[in-house]
Amino acid sequence: MAVHPRFKTRGERKDRAERPPPPPLDAAALNDMALRYVGKYATTAAKLQRYLGRKLWERGWAGPGEVPVAAVVARCVERGYVDDRVFGEAKARGLATKGFGRMRVGQALGAAGLERELAREISDTVDGDKAAEALARRRRFGPYDRLPFDIDRHRKQVGAMLRAGHDMATVRSVLKRDIEED
């Protein structure tokens, strides 16, 4: 009985070393690669530039002249395929609903490649109290904890909320608050 090629055992498959390397990139292939990436992922201009740089490092350049990575990224930004502000606002909303505070949202936006001023502007729009309350509810901290008070567990909860990017005043107010009746 023949085995379908997709379901071969490891020893029967071709190893990556046996596969021919992918061909080097030219301008058209680089542009196509950028369009596929922005079509598949929400991204920033910096992340797109890092992606294209990594692909060039892996495959090499076969086109004439200098590598047009900056031009390809600029074209994607100009056409509206990449918008750092829209990406940052969506990322900030998503992190805030998960319970991350302003500081942690700002760090995530900076790591995504947003300029420092834009990341700060977007992270300042996060409602820290609402995000801290969401984290406490989701992780059953403070007033949402079903177990009797324990000082060691309380310290761990404070540490987790501080690592999530909340300031100490917000952490204290949320962990001491009683659950409001709906």
pLDDT in tens, 66-122: 899 999 999 999 999 999 999 999 999 999 999 999 999 999 999 999 999 999 999
Flag whether 14 is in a domain.
no
Flag whether 75 is in a domain.
yes
Flag whether 30 is in a domain.
yes
Which of 65, 82, 99 lies at the terminal end of a domain, its last residue? Answer: 82
DSSP 60-106: -B-SSSS--HHHHHHHHHHTTS--HHHHHHHHHHHHHHHT--HHHHH
Cα dihedral: 146, 151, 157, 160 (round 10): -160
Flag whether 15 is in a domain.
no
Reading phi first (left if > 0) and then psi (alpha if -120 to 50, else beta), residue 139 is in alpha
Flag whether 56 is in a domain.
yes
pLDDT in tens, 15-53: 666 778 889 999 999 999 999 999 999 999 999 999 999
pTM: 0.79
Q: What is the rounded distance in angstroms from the CA atom of residue 175 to the CA atom of residue 161?
A: 10
What percentage of the chain's residues is helix, strand, coil (to nearest 5)? Answer: 65, 0, 35
- State whether 63 and 28 are in the same domain: yes
**What is the tally of structural domains in the chain?**
2
- State whether 102 and 127 are in the same domain: yes
Which pLDDT band holds residue 182 (cuts at 50, 70, 90)?
Answer: very low
- State whether 99 and 172 are in the same domain: yes
Q: Tell me which residue range forms the domain holding 164.
A: 85-176
In terms of C-beta density within 10 A (0-12 exposed, 13-18 middle, 19 or more buried), how is residue 18 classed?
exposed
- State whether 113 and 167 are in the same domain: yes
- State whether 105 and 47 are in the same domain: no
